[in-house]
Amino acid sequence: MQTFYLDDKDKIKLSKLLLEMCICFSKEEAEMLVSMGDVFVNGIYESDPDAQIFSGDVVKVDGEKIQVE
C-alpha cells in the first residue's frame, strides 16, 4: 500500500492524485482510467475524475491501494 500525504491541503481531486502518484501521466489518461471502472474510493466504484479525495480515504487502482493522509 502506498501513502499520499495531503500536506497543507484538505482535499485533492481524484485525477490529480493519480497524476501525483505517477499512476497516470496526463489528465486525459487519468480520466480514461476512471471511466474504465478500475478506480474505487473507500471500496465504492468512482466514475468521476473530479471527485474530491480527503484525508483518511483509501483509493484502489488496478488492485493497488493508496492511503491518503
pLDDT at residue 25, rounded to an integer: 94
pLDDT at residue 7, rounded to an integer: 81
pLDDT at residue 55, rounded to an integer: 94
Q: What is the CATH number of the domain that holds 20?
A: 3.10.290.10
Q: How many structural domains is the chain composed of?
A: 1
Model confidence at 8: pLDDT above 80: no
What's the rounded mean pLDDT across residues 5-19? 91
* Angle of CA points 24, 25, 27, to nearest 5°: 80
Q: pLDDT (tens digit, 9 = 90+) per residue, 18-69? A: 999 999 999 999 999 999 998 999 999 999 999 999 999 999 998 899 999 9
Residue 1 corresponds to which amino acid? M
- Residue 33, domain extent: 2-68
